Structure 1
Amino acid sequence: MDRGKFSLLLLDPGEIYFEDFSAVLIPPDITPKTFDSKKQDGRLKMCSKSLVFDPKDIYKPIIKIPLKNCVVIEQWKGSAKYLTNNNVLTVNCREYIEMLEGNIVAPYKFREATNFLFQLNYANIMNCLPQICQLHRASTLPAAEQADMIATIVHSRHARVSFDPLWLDLYEKVVLETEADKVTPLVVNPGRLLLSTSRLFFQPYNNVESVPVIKIELNSIKRMVKRRFLLRHIGLEIYCSESSSNPHIYLSFRSQQKRDHLYDNLLNQPVLKLEELDQDVMTLQWQNGIISNYDYLQYINSLGDRTINDLTQYPIFPWIISNYTDPELDFKDPKNYRDLSKPVGALNEVRLRRLLERYDEMSHPKFLYGSHYSTPGFVLFYLARLYPHYVLCLQSGRFDHPDRMFNSVADVYKNCQTNMSDFKELIPEFYDVSQEGNFLVNNMGINFGYRHNGLKVADVELPPWADSPQDFVRKLRDALESDVVSQGLHQWIDLIFGFKQQGEEAVKANNLFYHLCYEGNVDLDKIQDLNQRHALEVQIMEFGQIPKQVFKVPHPARKIGLPLLTEPHQVNLTETEDLWKNITSLEVVSTFNTHKNTVSHLFISDDGSRVTSVGHDSKLKVFSLEQSRQTRSANIGNMPLSSCIQMPNVNVLVIGSWDNQILLYDLDYGKVTESVLAHEDAITCMCWGRKSNILVSGSGDCTVKIWKGLNNNGIIKPIQCLQKQIDHNSHVNCLDFDNDNEHLAVGTEDGEVYIWKTGDFTLYKKYTIHSSSITAINYSPDGLKLALGAKNKTLQIVDVGTGLPVFTKTLKSAISCLKWVGFLLVLGCDDGSLFIWDIVEVRLLYEVSGAHSGAIKTVDISPEHAIIVTGSEDRLIKVWKPK
């Protein structure tokens, strides 16, 4: 069927198109002689608020007759020789609209009263006239009651339609069928949704889609995101592989329960294989430079319920550049950048003072900004040249006044800095180099009118430093990815998607908007008054919505000065690094079994030639990796040993014991030379600060003690070496210095993490990350993050500055030890499993299930010598090499 020029965008936003009829339009001035030349063949479309005639001749205007403007709608009672039957509808209206005359996008023409005759070619007028008259009656009601009556009519019509089972294959089984709407910008198209064991079908109630049924193969679905649609949790966005015939669909449902029911049933289908896109993985990859600022903002927008399919929740991007007047732009000069720690409304101090004065005099609920940073109108303000038909739909067939359009980038930025009601941010198109700035160019030659200075509205005027739209967008993208922006982007995320979005923090940050635009401030489902509900819906549509809050604590900053690793192979890796990146298997090259009990701690020597270990059998062991044999064994007391450290520059080991002692063992003389009763309970862990020459010891007595001067005089006495004791609330299980020895991190039995400044050992940070015991702790090489292993089987990478877990992974067993060296993080678990992670790209490189028959209690890695060594409850030490 020829679908003509008709589109749902020609209707009012939210208007429903039911069905159409083959028809002939008979103009009022027709005569028998002019009938053949003046009649228009086409299709008459019945919609919830209008009748639309779409002529077959694409150069003739589409005629839209709003039902509210109709005086008479009935079967024509006259007669004419040139009419083949009396199956004729007469419509007398006060005003009608002509659209797309000459097939040109232009403001609609509003025509005065006339009388239309439509001869229906096939449909029986007595079948369709009652429905048209019913919709006509609805149009005479107040807006809320009209919406309610139309909803009843829509439900009644749609309830009689069921999914056509002929679309199913022979072996396909139906899982569920329900009603749903397909959502695109400004358009909601209802239909039947059917989930089978292999496909998802959407069958619209009308014939406006390009196909009668949209089919999505379940095995092509890569991602599903629950969405908030018009402040209700009823949306579902489905992303498929790019090669799919339907790569994307956005659906809304009658209720959250119906949406969730479909979502759960989709997840239960065995053929569905979703891509993992964990929030914490993305945050960590962004911090590490694996993904760009642009891609991360796109991802966070998606988490915040922003989508290009919903203009009320369109993705938000920040103004970045503040200089739109200079002929050249220095992208390294911070003065050319907007302050990302402030919302747009707070960038101008003078305007902010005036806004705060108004705020102080306001009654509750107070707001600082009377307009929003993202609304459908603002989005289309930027995109009017690219999507003029959207503008006409939203603005009742009219374009904006030429002087109020997006004519100049510099003027818009200036207005956002000075106008008391303009606080808008940008949209992704400003930074999307793939679109080459096409939204800035009037490629369609649309006549938007003339400005006050006599100039015709044409392309957007660019700043002097941009040579073309492509150059403008490219430079903005380069600025977005710059170190200047990377340093502050997390602060803007805090304002729009994070902890400064609402509440007391929003007040402190001068980031407070009208209360209705915040999620959770209005529950439309509970509002019974139709007029009140309708008014709120209109307000929500027009005013804009705050994104869903994604982060409840400060967002971590990005590492500065990193090359953007868009593809891992772009990095110049050493041969050894490349080996670790491409592990296909791990092989055991040596096994040592001379310990008679659990191996509690071990380390690889700096030159990679030997392994030193201690165990619960009170033994100290040294093994030669070159000779694959034990070269030393020594009895150290009668109690289990927990830890062992090689002191620098001297051949002395520091050993921690369960008999509360720290001992110095001289490897040259083969004996304990010093010991001290250091704690009131077993020593559980020790760590040596290479730069600070400090030894720290942790104990079951809930304390950490700091010792200094050991490597100078080779003694350990409390009166000479003990510098300080720091107390904790429970057993100290693990501790680690950062690379610069400026901070000491301590993990405890009750799940608390303490970070102490080593200058004076005052408390710097304290987090309660886990509800269970922290068993292993290790700083990242740059000191910005901590890896935490816990009894509750959880691995977390925590941003030190904010305490935000930027990566969380739950394993099958409790984590008993871990080691972070370079880009590698190695984990040992209670069930004997061994894991190797690339923690920059955030991917599991290799897993060895059952690496040991008991818990792996200690692990060390020497990437440059390509070895990992593990010690276990099964008494074995194993040396592993990657293949």
Structure 2
Amino acid sequence: MDKSRFSMLLLEPGEIYFEDYSCSLSTEKNVNVKQGRLKLCSKSLVFEPREWVYPLIKMQFKDCADITIVNCATAGSNVIKVRMKMYAEMLEENILAPYKFVYEDQDFYVSFDFASADECLSQMQQLQRAATLHAPEHNSMIATILHSRYMRMEFDPVMMDDFTEQIVCELQAEKISPLVRHQGKLALTPTTIYFQPFSNVESSPILKLKLGHLRRLYKRRFLLRQVGLEIYSSEESSVPHIYVTFQSERDRDRIYKILEESPNVQLEKVHTEEMTLQWQNGIVSNYDYLMYLNCLADRSKNDLTQYPVFPWVVADYTSQTLDLTNPDTFRDLAKPMGALNPDRLDKLKERYHEMSEPKFLYGSHYSAPGLVLFYLVRKYPKYMLCLQNGRFDHPDRMFNSVRDVYNNCLRNMSDFKELVPEFYDTEGKGDFLVNKYEIDFGERYDGSKVNDVALPPWAKSPEDFVVKLREALESEYVCRHLHLWIDLIFGYRQRGEEAVKANNVFHHVCYEGAVNLECVYDMNDRHALEVQIMEFGQVPKQLFTKPHVRKISPRITKPLAYLDCNASYKMECIDELQLHKEAVTCAIMCENRVISVGKDGTLKVYDTVLKKQIRSVILSSTPLSSCVMVDNNTVAVGSWDNEIYLYDVEYGRVVECFRAHDDSVSCLLWLEKERLLISGGWDGVVRVWGNVGRTGQALRGLKAEFDHDGKVTSITYRRRRNEIDIITGTSDGEVFIWDYSTKDVVNKISVHTSAVSGLCFVLSGDRVVTTCEDGDMRVTDLSVLDSVYQKQLSGPVTSLCWDGSNVLWLGCGGGRLLQWNMLTVTQTSTYTPHNDSINSVYFDEISKTLITASEDKVIKIWEITQTS
């Protein structure tokens, strides 16, 4: 077999592999000679025999007594003798097992086939001297050697796809995989990223990523330094993914900027708010959303110090069946693991209060390299051997039983670990729970051999276990509470005073920004911090500084796959009306009549069946701003002359008019069930009117007044059980929530920097969409009083309308009409039906008709049909 058994995982984590030599090895001169290759590494020599029956020999420089050249009868003076005080044997007969450490003096004779022993000796002796130094000095010396080699290495353009390609940028870089760092050179051309490793250990002498295949770029923090870049490519790419680090943040940012601005790079733009809203709407699963948040927070499967973290969600590992309808089945997601057991928490807090600053509650982390491999040792045994110097953990301390591990996380004073994504990854089928390589992990105290992980009674198999955990993760209980765990791990309760209140305080070194390694010049201090991070783990980058929104429990019982998530409307203009002499400010539809008002002070009624105007009346010498139907025949009209007019369409007469405000009436809203007319004015007041329709009784029917700081520009409402909230938008960009029953302001939120031009609820009673004159569209979750989505549109938004299901229409400046699917949070179409700003968009659900009215004096009637 030609495939090499040598792997960087046979070295210590972070150890550097320089080069290898064809040679033979014997323990005595010319006796028991084995052919193979000698690997020269920063801390060791590794001999890989050609025949697989023999083990690899690992000779650590720190255990080396002497390295000298000896004369040999057959090889002359091209033989080096390495005298070892101890050495390790690995992969004998290619069986994965703990390394065999031989504690005896041994001389190894290396006879080189092609290389010069003199040259090899000087390199080995240099590395041997480095091994006698303390770790910080050793690292510094190795870095110097590496830099010297880097300066001598030139990027080989022969390996490029096209020799005429111009190199835009060339930098020293490291390709990162778990516990391994491959040094090399990264070269960037206008079409391709090339990574050329220093050593030949990679399967390919050069890695190539076409810029046209790039889809996502993420800046990463690696070992507390902002030097990492993770690149994802499309499926057709030969290299779908690569994680590289650079010498400095400046180098990383330089590459990132070049790639981001390259005309050949088409990145997928997924904004956090968009993903959050899709998750909240049920389009994105809890699993996918947590993977997304981990990715945003610098968590990557390539970095064991920042491996993706997932919560324990199930607390029942003893029942025969898993009841996902019972709240007692689940862990309390509002608390960190360390706070779930009140008795243990009391002891931890007692110790915490006795500490000097900086205090910490938990002496170990919820995610660290050792904890990740504790769960995944059966899937990635080589990682564990690498991390623990060729040894597995003690059999009784291994991951032997799910129930025992969960109980230990509840009771042990130093165990607070969460889970890894593999517990919920149904594609993996629970393979990390099975000893598929049949490794001898040893025997436990009771004499039983460590084999597969013991599962709870409710799981029939590893695959069934993972499927049921995934069902639990996506269950209604978790949907209602997952945002609380997100607050702890990624959100506002991750650090500071809120973390103290939530009993969520870890050692200060593991928080991003707590330590700037670039400013730690003492080699000993720097090394100590790096070791601490490797062993202790890191808190994810903080993504949210305010409470995270709650997922909305789906009301539809259909599986997500059957939901028409991509629904939109095909629109066809069936009539165009030019009834007004000036701009149309509002147009609505009632049965087969279109009622409109405009800046010419007139109200017009158009019959869509007869295709003609049937009413026209001048109500005021000033512009009319808005209109609503208060019954089948009566329309209420707001005017700039501060009046509200009630007009009977059937009989063609004004029923009543009354002074409603001290300045222009800007907007109207009709609540059919309560028979209340709500008006907003430029005087900053919202008034609620009863007795509407009873001649002469409107003013006596004033039910409520709500005062604002700025002009009232928009009104909507929501029902909460038997109560009504009135939501208003103002010229200051603020949104007010008023409780109609108490007449009190519940909340005031500053949403925009300019006047609110549109306001409506979408998808649930907790989220309101607002638009403003500078083109800013936001979705605000009233349960957390914060925007969960923001989109800056290219021009002013002058009106909006909601279809009651998924679709939102935005009337814009320049006559554009945008159609948005707010379930998937995507713009589905753009029309330009008018020559000027669209002042009003109205949807008639019964006839599936849309009415648009514009500053260009035109009204258009649209027939809409749903598409998918």
Normalised by the length of structure 2, the TM-score is 0.97
1:134 equivalent in alignment to 2:126: yes
Offset at residue 58 of structure 1 (A): 1.7
Q: 1:64 to 1:863 in 2, by over 3 A?
A: farther
Task: Deviation per CA, 1:232-267: give whole Å up to 9, x if none.
Answer: 111111111123211110111111111111011112
Offset at residue 167 of structure 1 (A): 2.2
1:834 equivalent in alignment to 2:834: no
Q: 1:563 to 1:430 in 2, by over 3 A?
A: farther
1:444 equivalent in alignment to 2:437: yes
Aligned partner letter, 2:288: D
1:750 equivalent in alignment to 2:743: no
The answer for the alignment partner of 1:591 in structure 2 is 576
Q: Distance in 1 between matches of 2:294 and 2:403?
A: 26
1:315 equivalent in alignment to 2:304: no
1:675 paired residue among 642, 657, 664 = 657
1:519 paired residue among 505, 509, 512 = 512
Q: Distance in 1 between matches of 2:649 and 2:482?
A: 52
Task: Deviation per CA, 1:467-516: give whole Å up to 9, x if none.
Answer: 10011001001111111110101111111111111111111111111111
Stretch moving more, 523-532 or 100-109: 100-109
Offset at residue 171 of structure 1 (A): 4.6
Aligned sequence identity (%): 47
Q: Does the aligned pair in 1 maintain the 2:692–2:698 contact within 8 Å?
A: no
The answer for the alignment partner of 1:603 in structure 2 is 588
The answer for the alignment partner of 1:11 in structure 2 is 11
1:486 equivalent in alignment to 2:479: yes
Task: Deviation per CA, 1:203-252: give whole Å up to 9, x if none.
Answer: 00101111000111111111111111111111111111123211110111
The answer for the alignment partner of 2:146 in structure 1 is 154
Q: Which consecutive residues of structure 2, in runs of 5 or more, have no partner in the other structure?
A: none
The answer for the alignment partner of 2:773 in structure 1 is 791
Offset at residue 670 of structure 1 (A): 1.6
Q: Secondary structure at the match of 1:742?
A: strand
2:762 paired residue among 780, 786, 799 = 780
Once the two structures are superposed, the pairs formed by residues 548-559 of structure 1 within 5 Å of their partners are 548-559=541-552
Q: 1:110 to 1:564 in 2, by over 3 A?
A: farther
Offset at residue 172 of structure 1 (A): 2.8
1:766 equivalent in alignment to 2:745: no
Q: Distance in 2 between matches of 1:742 and 1:316?
A: 41
Q: Distance in 2 between matches of 1:563 and 1:18?
A: 60
Q: Distance in 1 between matches of 2:540 and 2:765?
A: 32
Across the aligned residues of Structure 1 and Structure 2, the Cα RMSD in angstroms comes to 1.7
Q: Secondary structure at the match of 2:86?
A: strand
Offset at residue 852 of structure 1 (A): 1.2
Task: Deviation per CA, 1:821-842: give whole Å up to 9, x if none.
Answer: 2111000111211101111122
The answer for the alignment partner of 1:26 in structure 2 is 26
Aligned partner letter, 2:501: K
2:336 paired residue among 343, 346, 361 = 343
Offset at residue 748 of structure 1 (A): 1.2
Q: Secondary structure at the match of 1:86?
A: strand
Q: Distance in 2 between matches of 1:781 and 1:604?
A: 23
1:427 equivalent in alignment to 2:412: no
Q: Distance in 1 between matches of 2:143 and 2:607?
A: 81
Task: Deviation per CA, 1:450-483: give whole Å up to 9, x if none.
Answer: 0001100010000011110011001001111111
Q: Secondary structure at the match of 1:613?
A: strand
Aligned partner letter, 1:536: L
1:581 equivalent in alignment to 2:581: no
1:666 equivalent in alignment to 2:648: yes
The answer for the alignment partner of 1:632 in structure 2 is 615
The answer for the alignment partner of 2:808 in structure 1 is 825
Q: Distance in 1 between matches of 2:564 and 2:681?
A: 43
Q: Secondary structure at the match of 1:188?
A: strand
Aligned partner letter, 2:152: R
Q: Secondary structure at the match of 1:858?
A: strand
1:120 equivalent in alignment to 2:102: no
Task: Deviation per CA, 1:664-691: give whole Å up to 9, x if none.
Answer: 1122332222222121111111112233
Task: Deviation per CA, 1:498-544: give whole Å up to 9, x if none.
Answer: 11111111111111111111111100000110100110111111111
Offset at residue 775 of structure 1 (A): 1.3
1:646 paired residue among 606, 629, 634 = 629
Q: Does the aligned pair in 2 maintain the 1:223–1:274 contact within 8 Å?
A: yes
Offset at residue 881 of structure 1 (A): 3.2
Q: Distance in 2 between matches of 1:3 and 1:193?
A: 26
Offset at residue 549 of structure 1 (A): 0.8
1:52 paired residue among 23, 43, 46 = 46
The answer for the alignment partner of 1:881 in structure 2 is 863
Stretch moving more, 557-566 or 292-301: 557-566
Q: Distance in 2 between matches of 1:231 and 1:506?
A: 21
Q: 1:335 to 1:8 in 2, by over 3 A?
A: same
Q: Secondary structure at the match of 2:840?
A: strand
Q: 1:714 to 1:238 in 2, by over 3 A?
A: farther
Aligned partner letter, 1:138: A
The answer for the alignment partner of 1:724 in structure 2 is 704
Q: Does the aligned pair in 1 maintain the 2:838–2:853 contact within 8 Å?
A: yes
Offset at residue 627 of structure 1 (A): 3.4
The answer for the alignment partner of 1:275 in structure 2 is 268
Aligned partner letter, 1:805: S
Q: Does the aligned pair in 2 maintain the 1:737–1:745 contact within 8 Å?
A: yes
Aligned partner letter, 1:772: S
Q: Does the aligned pair in 2 maintain the 1:731–1:749 contact within 8 Å?
A: yes
Offset at residue 384 of structure 1 (A): 0.6
Q: Distance in 2 between matches of 1:537 and 1:658?
A: 69
Q: Distance in 2 between matches of 1:329 and 1:556?
A: 28
The answer for the alignment partner of 1:461 in structure 2 is 454
Once the two structures are superposed, the pairs formed by residues 235-384 of structure 1 within 5 Å of their partners are 235-384=228-377
Q: Does the aligned pair in 2 maintain the 1:61–1:98 contact within 8 Å?
A: yes
Q: Distance in 2 between matches of 1:447 and 1:683?
A: 82
Task: Deviation per CA, 1:281-318: give whole Å up to 9, x if none.
Answer: 21111111111111111111111111100001111111
The answer for the alignment partner of 1:95 in structure 2 is 86
Q: 1:159 to 1:53 in 2, by over 3 A?
A: same
Q: Distance in 2 between matches of 1:738 and 1:345?
A: 40
Q: Does the aligned pair in 2 maintain the 1:289–1:562 contact within 8 Å?
A: no
Aligned partner letter, 2:575: S
Q: Secondary structure at the match of 2:819?
A: strand
Normalised by the length of structure 1, the TM-score is 0.95
Q: Distance in 2 between matches of 1:625 and 1:344?
A: 65
Offset at residue 341 of structure 1 (A): 0.9
Q: 1:3 to 1:74 in 2, by over 3 A?
A: farther
Q: 1:173 to 1:715 in 2, by over 3 A?
A: farther
Aligned partner letter, 1:280: E
Task: Deviation per CA, 1:178-214: give whole Å up to 9, x if none.
Answer: 1111000011111111111111111001011110001
Offset at residue 84 of structure 1 (A): 3.0
Aligned length: 860
Q: Which consecutive residues of structure 1, in runs of 5 or more, have no partner in the other structure?
A: none
Stretch moving more, 522-531 or 793-802: 793-802
Q: Distance in 2 between matches of 1:480 and 1:137?
A: 54
Q: Secondary structure at the match of 2:9?
A: helix
Q: Does the aligned pair in 2 maintain the 1:289–1:563 contact within 8 Å?
A: no
The answer for the alignment partner of 2:135 in structure 1 is 143
Q: Does the aligned pair in 1 maintain the 2:336–2:503 contact within 8 Å?
A: yes
Q: Distance in 2 between matches of 1:472 and 1:525?
A: 45
Q: Distance in 1 between matches of 2:583 and 2:671?
A: 27
Aligned partner letter, 1:706: V
Q: Distance in 1 between matches of 2:134 and 2:11?
A: 19
